[in-house]
Amino acid sequence: MTTIVSEKLKAEVRNLSFYYTEVQALKKVNLPIAENRITALIGPSGCGKTTYLRCFNRMHDLYPGNRYEGEILLYPDRLNIVDPKVDPIEVRMRISMVFQKPNPFPKTVYENVAYGLRVRGENRKGLLDEKVEKALRQAALWDEVHGRIYDLAFNLSGGQQQRLCIARALATEPEILLFDEPTSALDPTATLKIEELIMRLKKDVTIIIVTHNMQQAARVSDYTAFMYLGEIIEFDKTDKVFTHPSKKLTEDYITGRFG
């Protein structure tokens, strides 16, 4: 699988298994993550793609009874993200996440973006102002909200709220940005904006995106992994997966025969 990616790797999943108490949700999966590229995880509901994504920032540690086996190596320092000895907080500080439904805090736009920095103990006004503006510009939101960054985030539209969440995730300059079906709660126009944004962001950050929408994966990603029942059935360059899938199951899924 690694041979498919000839580029520099940002992370590499090796024989990762994941258990919700008794139930095994991921079965010895492998995946290379190329640096400054977009890797998409696709597959039918319940195939484990969101579970997979949430391993990358140890979200599963928030709930009791969850267990990882195997490793996710983060390059260049080869930190095994899922090692129980590695502090999940350290992992989350290096790897940010954008969720399925926009989930801004009931605070101002400014405080939403600044929160990750405040968590890191940053309180210098000038520096915060600068980084908040930078993140909002990166998330293509600055032009729309610069006059009301002290308004409540709930007053923004759904698409704006999701871009705010992207800005919030970007403000801390993460090494990897995880997207969990970021447009599933948005209308087509807002979706298009987010997609354009994701494509532009890859020059700054490595991206992994889970999506239910195959066209979205085809449009934005460089690599695509097709998952089914907790396993990766096929992984390849996105063009290859969508034009010449090597597995029958993949072909059936992308042509809409199930899922």
Partner 1 sequence: MPHDEKITQEIRRRIAHNKFRDHLFWIIGLFSTLIGFVVLFTLIIDLFVDGFPRLSWSFLTSYPSRFPEKAGILSAWVGTTLVMIVTAAAAVPLGIAAGVYLEEYSKKNWLTHLIEINMNNLAGIPSIIYGLLALGLFVYFLKLGESILTGGLTLGLLILPMVVIATRESIRAIPNSIREASYALGATKWQTIKDHILPYSISGILTGMIIGLSRAIGETAPIITVGALTFIAFLPSSPVTSTFPFFSFKWLFDPFTVMPIQMFNWISRPQKEFHVNAAAAGIILLLMTLVMNGFAIYLRYKFRKRIKW
Question: Which positions lie near partner 1, rule CB under 8 A?
Answer: 57, 59, 62, 64, 89-90, 92-93, 96-97, 99, 101, 103-106, 115-116, 118-120, 152, 154, 165, 168-169, 172
Strand runs labelled E in 75-111: 79-80, 95-98
Q: Which amino acid is at 184?
A: S
Nearest residue (CB) to partner 1, 131 versus 168? 168
Tokens of 132: 């908040």
Closest approach of partner 1 to the CB of residue 149, in Å: 16
Q: Which is nearer to partner 1, 91 or 254 (CB)?
A: 91
Shortest Å, Cβ 116 to partner 1: 4
Q: How far is the CB of 54 from partner 1 (least distance, A)?
A: 9
Q: Residue 208: which of 241, 177, 185 has the closest Cα?
A: 177
Please give the order of strands across the beta sheet that includes 38-42. Answer: 95-98, 176-180, 206-210, 38-42, 223-228, 231-237
Nearer to partner 1, 52 or 223 (CB): 52
CA dist 156 and 69 (Å) reads 41
Amino acid code (one letter) for 3: T
User: What's the number of CA atoms in the CB half-sphere (13 Å) around residue 208?
Assistant: 27
Question: Could you tell me the smallest distance in angstroms from the CB atom of residue 91 to partner 1?
Answer: 9
Nearest CB to partner 1, comparing residues 122 and 251: 122
Q: What value, to the nearest 5°, has the Cα angle with vertex 35 and ends 63 and 4?
A: 100
Q: Which is nearer to partner 1, 161 or 224 (CB)?
A: 161
* Smallest separation, CB 97 to partner 1 (Å): 4
